[in-house]
Amino acid sequence: MSIEFLQVAEEEGEEPIELPVEDDGTLLLSTLQAQFPGTCGLKYRNPESRAIRGVRLNEGRLNPPVPESGWGSQVYFCVFPKGAVSSIVENKRKSDDHLENSTAKTKRMETRLRCTDLIVLGLPWKTTEQSLREYFETFGEVLMAQVKKDLKSGQSKGFGFIRFGSYEAQMRVLAQRHLIDNRWCEVKVPNSKEGMIQQVPCKVFVGRCSEDLTADDLREYFSKFGEVTDVFIPKPFRAFSFVTFLDPEVAQSLCGEDHIIKGVSVRVSNAAPKSEQNRNPNYSSGPPSHHQRGSVPPDPRNPINRQENISYPQNRGYMPNPPIQHNNGWNSQNRGNLDMPNLQALGINPQGQNPSNQGQNINNPLGVGLNINALPMNPALVAAALNQWSLIGNLQNQNQEQGFGGSGGPNAQPGSSQGGNFLSWMSQGGGGGGDGQQVNNQFQGGNQPWSRQQGNTGQPGPDHKQNFL
C-alpha cells in the first residue's frame, strides 16, 4: 500500500513540504510540528469561497476536510499561535522603522527559532498584566504578558513574563531598561530559557580609530549597515572602539573589513569575548546568555529613553558593556586568558588572522609568546598600550581584587589611566556609555532595585552579582 502525503507550507506562497498521513487518514500534529515547530494547526483556502478554512484538530490528529476524499492535492498552511493584539499595534508602529518591515514569514521564523519568554524584574506592585502589555506593545506584538501574583492575596510579586512575536522586538526590549509604571525594570531571558537565545555577537571591534573619530561619527557611519544600538569609545583614547548592532548578522558581516570613516581607515573585527579573569568572581551563576546583545545601554534614540535626566545607576553596569556571561564557552573556557584589545587596537593580531572567536578560546596574547620587540610597531607605543590595559604590572592582583566584571567591552580592559584599578575607572564614570549618556547616579535610595549598590568605593559584595544584569 502506498502512504498518502499532504502538502503543507508554512504559509501561502511558500514551498510546501509533503507530510505523511496516518493509516486512519489523519495527520498527526506531532508530524506537522516536526517540520514546522511552533505550529498549532492547519488551514487552507477554500477554492470556492476563497476563504481560509481551518482544519479540524482532535486529540492531536488533524482531520482532512472531507474525510472520505482525503486531503486532496491542495496545499495547507500552518497556523501559529498568535496573541490577541495585532493590527492596532502594527498601525502604531513607526513607519520608518525598517526593522518592522519584516515579512510575516520572517516573523514566523523568528518566533519559531528565537523568541522566548522574557522575565520582567522589578515591576511595581501596582503593575497589572494589562499595563505590562500596554507598555511592551510599543516595541512590537506582545504574545503574552503576565504578572506573577500571590495566589491568596492576588498581590503582585513584582515580576512577570512577556513574550514577543518578533525577534527584533525582543532584542530591542532586551537592549535597554524599562520605565514601567514609573519604575525602572529590567527584562532578561529567564534562567529556565538559557541557551534558547541566539548567541551571535552583535558587537564588533573597530581598530585603528583615530582620536577625532567620535561616537557620533561611528554611529552615523555604521548605521548605514544596520541599526546601531551602542557605540563605545574608551576613554582615554585607546585607538579602538566598539560598535554594537541590533542585528548580529550585520555585525558579523562587517567583521574582517576595513572601512574608511572621515578619512581614517579602521579595521572591523570580532569583539573578542572578555575573559573570566577580569570578571567578578562573585558573578558566577551563569546568567542569561543573551547579554552580549542584551546589555547595551538604552538607546537614546528610542523615545522611551528621551526623557529628561535619564540616568543610570552608577554601579549597575550601564557602561559600555556590562559583563557578558555566556554558557556557550565564550568565556567559560577562557579562564586564565587575557583579552587582546591592546593588540587589536594597534592593528596587531597575534593569531595572524581575524580573531573569529565564536565559541573559541582566545589565546592569551601574552601566552603566545608576545615579544614586544618583535612587533611591527614602536615598542614604546606597544608597551604604553599594554600598560594602558594593565597587561604590564600588577594585573593579576588587580583582577583578583577588583572583583568586577564590568569593562569597556568584550575585550576592553577597564585599564587604569591613573594607575588605579577598575574601581577607579568606574568612579570616573565607567566609560559612560557609548552615547555619551551621563552616569550621574540620580537614582534615589530605596526606590530602585539597584540603589543599595550605589557607592562604589568598597569591595563589591557577594550580591554584586546582580549589578550588571
Angle subtended by helix axes 167-174 and 104-113, to nearest 10 = 60
Count the Cβ atoms, other than its own, within 10 Å of residue 106. Answer: 13
- Check residue 287 for interaction with DNA (CB under 7 A): yes
For residue 27, the Cα-to-chain-centroid distance in whole angstroms is 38
- Check residue 117 for interaction with DNA (CB under 7 A): yes
Cβ 456 to DNA, closest distance in Å? Answer: 16
- Check residue 157 for interaction with DNA (CB under 7 A): yes
Pick from 9, 75, 121, 261: which binds DNA (CB under 7 A)? Answer: 121
Cβ 334 to DNA, closest distance in Å? Answer: 23
Pick from 49, 58, 91, 153: which binds DNA (CB under 7 A)? Answer: 153
Cβ 179 to DNA, closest distance in Å? Answer: 13
| Of residues 437-456, those binding DNA (CB under 7 A) | 446, 449, 452
Q: Which stretch in 70-78, 132-140, 143-151, 223-231 sits in contact with DNA by CB under 7 A?
A: 143-151
Separation between Cα atoms, residue 117 and residue 190, nearest integer Å: 7
- Check residue 387 for interaction with DNA (CB under 7 A): no
Instruction: Select 127 or 270, whichever has its Cβ closest to DNA.
Output: 127
Cβ 455 to DNA, closest distance in Å? Answer: 14
- Check residue 119 for interaction with DNA (CB under 7 A): yes
Residue type at position 226? G
Instruction: Select 223 or 454, whichever has its Cβ closest to DNA.
Output: 454
Cβ 393 to DNA, closest distance in Å? Answer: 33
Q: Which stretch in 79-87, 114-122, 168-176, 399-407 sits in contact with DNA by CB under 7 A?
A: 114-122
Separation between Cα atoms, residue 16 and residue 25, nearest integer Å: 19
- Check residue 212 for interaction with DNA (CB under 7 A): no
Q: How far are the Cα atoms of 287, 400, 405 from residue 460, in angstroms, in the given order?
A: 18, 12, 10
| Residue 23, CA atoms < 13 Å, CB-side half-sphere | 1
Instruction: Select 76 or 450, whichever has its Cβ closest to DNA.
Output: 450
- Check residue 418 for interaction with DNA (CB under 7 A): no
Q: Which stretch in 190-198, 248-256, 351-359, 402-410 sits in contact with DNA by CB under 7 A?
A: 190-198
Instruction: Select 324 or 391, whichever has its Cβ closest to DNA.
Output: 324
Q: Which stretch in 45-53, 156-164, 221-229, 419-427 sits in contact with DNA by CB under 7 A?
A: 156-164
Site string for DNA, 331-370 (x = CB under 7 A): ----------------------------------------
- Check residue 128 for interaction with DNA (CB under 7 A): no
- Check residue 307 for interaction with DNA (CB under 7 A): no
Q: Which stretch in 68-76, 79-87, 119-127, 133-141 sits in contact with DNA by CB under 7 A?
A: 119-127
Instruction: Select 139 or 161, whichever has its Cβ closest to DNA.
Output: 161
Separation between Cα atoms, residue 274 and residue 399, nearest integer Å: 13
Is-contact 332 361, C-beta < 8 A? no
Instruction: Select 178 or 238, whichever has its Cβ closest to DNA.
Output: 178
Number of residues that bind DNA (CB under 7 A): 32
Separation between Cα atoms, residue 334 and residue 115, nearest integer Å: 28
- Check residue 284 for interaction with DNA (CB under 7 A): no
Cβ 116 to DNA, closest distance in Å? Answer: 7
- Check residue 159 for interaction with DNA (CB under 7 A): yes
Pick from 188, 238, 290, 291: which binds DNA (CB under 7 A)? Answer: 188
Q: Which stretch in 87-95, 186-194, 248-256, 418-426 sits in contact with DNA by CB under 7 A?
A: 186-194
Q: Which stretch in 191-199, 236-244, 311-319, 379-387 sits in contact with DNA by CB under 7 A?
A: 191-199
Contacts to DNA by CB under 7 A: 116-117, 119, 121-125, 146, 148, 151, 153, 155-159, 161, 183, 188, 190-193, 287-288, 446, 449, 452, 463, 465-466
